[in-house]
Amino acid sequence: MKVIKDFYEYMKSLQGGIKTLICERSTMFFSCVFGLLIYSQLMTQHLVNTYDGLWEYTYHSAGKWELSLGRWFWLYLDKIRFGVSNDPWTSVLTLLLFSAGMLLTVDIFCLKDKKITFLTSALFMSSTAVCVSLAYRYMSPIFGFAFFTSVLAAWFIIKSESIIMPVLAGAFTIALSMGSYQAYIGCTCLIIAGNLVWRLYCTDISCKQIGLYIGKSIATLLSGGIIYILLLKVHLYIFNTALSTYNGAQSYSFWNTIKKLPETIKYSYIMFEMYFFKDLYKTNMFQQYKIYWILFAIYAVLLLVGFLHIWKRSPLRAGFYILVILVLPVMTNAVMLIATDVGISIQMTAPLALFIPILLCIVHKMEFRFPVLVKTLGGIAVLMALWGNIYQIQLDQNAMYEGKTAASAMAQEIVHDLAREECLSPDLRYCIIGIPAGNRLFYVSEAYGLSNNYAMVGVGWTDSDSSMKSWRGIFHHFCGINLNIWPSGACQTEIEEADLANMPVYPEYGYIQQVGDVVVIKTN
């Protein structure tokens, strides 16, 4: 009964925060409308990436593979949406979840200036992290849910002065987030650490309150990790499944995290540097003009002014303030501390995409007077970053569209040629050698090369199994033809008999050779 009473009291204490969210719903509305506008091509043209998005397309029901990656809650989320992932509904749902997460974010930092709240949301919503999430359409709501719950966990901790219930609520929400997609734990850690930077600056927040906040945050993160691991182990046992070696899933272990901490902390800084300063991914059209260098230089100056303000009151507190700022990159890449063998793929970069919006929140909340010149330069730099974000994701969407169009045209011609040569049958096996982009008839504009790899439909298939899946996606989903496509590794005998080295290349006569029940097709 005491637990129920405590829960009731806790929810009552959150009423003010919930009312504020309702009043600030314009932020979510803006984010959604903004997202619908900038991702309209992706939704209306049913665009997906060249990898899993192309392989799964409109229907996928999570099973043992997803569970082996540690994503146990994904199974339930797919049951709720029946495995259906058609557009525009799926992308709209995902954008709603991302927008709800950004609404919580601006509420956490108590932002009142509409211009700043809209700008913060727009910076994140226009990131390649959101675009690539939508391009994995079969799982895009999973990304959205993981982001929303990761921010919700921080919201539970920050918006209540209670101790036990925020820890329990936040821990359970973290378990759900990680059970959907683990990489978003970085969003939770980043927001908690970013909010701590602001609290250290505030004169009305005592050291005791800061200590309590840190204790609650650590307890929540540790409890959330423990609940996640326990629920994962239960599901692995029930479904008789082992953790996969893919993306470091098998490395989940508290002791492994402690043992490899120096190595993973160092790697977290390296990945942070590569993302913002080494062009690991194409995230902004102004990257080549050092837009991130400019932004970080401006933020560094403003944070330094904050440090000087704190130093006047307490040198010890000022030193801790600098320490927390220096740890922000590690918090952002927190997933690397958990899955110690993982790298950062582009679909895992949401915490990194959230970094600059969080810095904007922190700096805006520091109530010292900015020089007009600094304000002007900072505003111009942020608007340039937003503009560069928008056009980068336009390039990525256009690349998916051009690649889809060119690959579809090639596949349709191949189907016509197969029918003409009487090699079109559901009972035959097909082995396609090459990729669409490797053929000289595959046409895309110069803008195609300015996009990220995930968006280059027709490129990027690195092994025979991936090539098979991608060709299947093109024929099945783009052309509506049920060809039984096999990987080249399973058709070596037939390929040798077809004399692949001397075979002509599509569209020359002879690029199709039938050997037994295998039809070998050479595209490049």
Q: What is the mean pLDDT of each run of 10 residues along the chain (524 residues)?
A: 56 60 74 94 94 88 89 94 91 96 93 89 97 96 97 93 88 96 95 95 89 95 94 93 71 70 89 92 94 94 91 93 96 86 85 96 79 78 96 97 95 94 91 90 93 90 81 91 88 84 90 90 90
Structure-block tokens of residue 166: 């925020």
User: What is the residue whose two structure tokens read 């020359």?
Assistant: 508
Phi, psi angle pair for 514, to nearest 5°: -100, 125
How far apart CA 373 and CA 269 sit, in angstroms, is 31
How far apart CA 222 and CA 356 sit, in angstroms, is 26
How far apart CA 426 and CA 434 sit, in angstroms, is 22
Using an 8 Å Cβ cutoff, are 50 and 470 in contact? yes
Phi, psi angle pair for 512, to nearest 5°: -110, 125
How far apart CA 453 and CA 473 sit, in angstroms, is 17
Predicted pLDDT at 16: 58
Using an 8 Å Cβ cutoff, are 192 and 154 in contact? yes
How far apart CA 69 and CA 130 sit, in angstroms, is 21
Predicted pLDDT at 279: 83
Dihedral sign of CA atoms 487, 493, 496, 497 in order: negative
Predicted pLDDT at 6: 56
Predicted pLDDT at 364: 87
Domain ranges (residues) in the chain:
2-368, 408-522
Our CA dihedral for 459, 462, 467, 469, rounded to 10 degrees, sits at -100
Predicted pLDDT at 12: 61
> Residues near 234 by Cβ (< 8 Å), separated by ≥ 6?
none
Q: What is the DSSP letter of 478?
A: I
Q: Are strands 429-433 and 484-485 parallel, antiparallel or unpaired?
A: parallel
User: What is the residue whose two structure tokens read 């304000």?
Assistant: 375
> What's the per-residue H, E or C state across 227-275?
HHHHHHHHHHHHCCCCCCCHHHHHHCCHHHHHHCHHHHHHHHHHHHHHH
Phi, psi angle pair for 265, to nearest 5°: -65, -45
Predicted pLDDT at 148: 97
How far apart CA 301 and CA 217 sit, in angstroms, is 28
Using an 8 Å Cβ cutoff, are 402 and 476 in contact? no
How far apart CA 202 and CA 211 sit, in angstroms, is 14
Instruction: Tell me which amino acid residue 474 is.
Output: I
Supply the angle between the helices 372-420 and 350-365 in degrees, to the nearest 10.
Answer: 160
Predicted pLDDT at 260: 80
Phi, psi angle pair for 57, to nearest 5°: 60, -110
Q: Which helix (H) or strand (E) holds 432?
A: strand 429-433
How far apart CA 495 and CA 513 sit, in angstroms, is 9
> What's the per-residue H, E or C state across 140-175?
HHHHHHHHHHHHHHHHHHHCCCCCHHHHHHHHHHHH
Neighbours of 236 (CB within 10 A): 17
Among residues 386, 361, 363, 379, which one has the least CA distance to residue 106?
361
Among residues 499, 113, 299, 411, which one has the least CA distance to residue 121?
113
Provide DSSP, 449-476: GGS-GGG-TT----SHHHHHHHHHHIII
Predicted pLDDT at 249: 56
Instruction: Tell me which amino acid residue 88 is.
Output: P
CA distances from 101 to 97, 124, 213, 228, 386 (A): 6, 10, 21, 21, 19
Predicted pLDDT at 8: 58
Using an 8 Å Cβ cutoff, are 523 and 434 in contact? yes
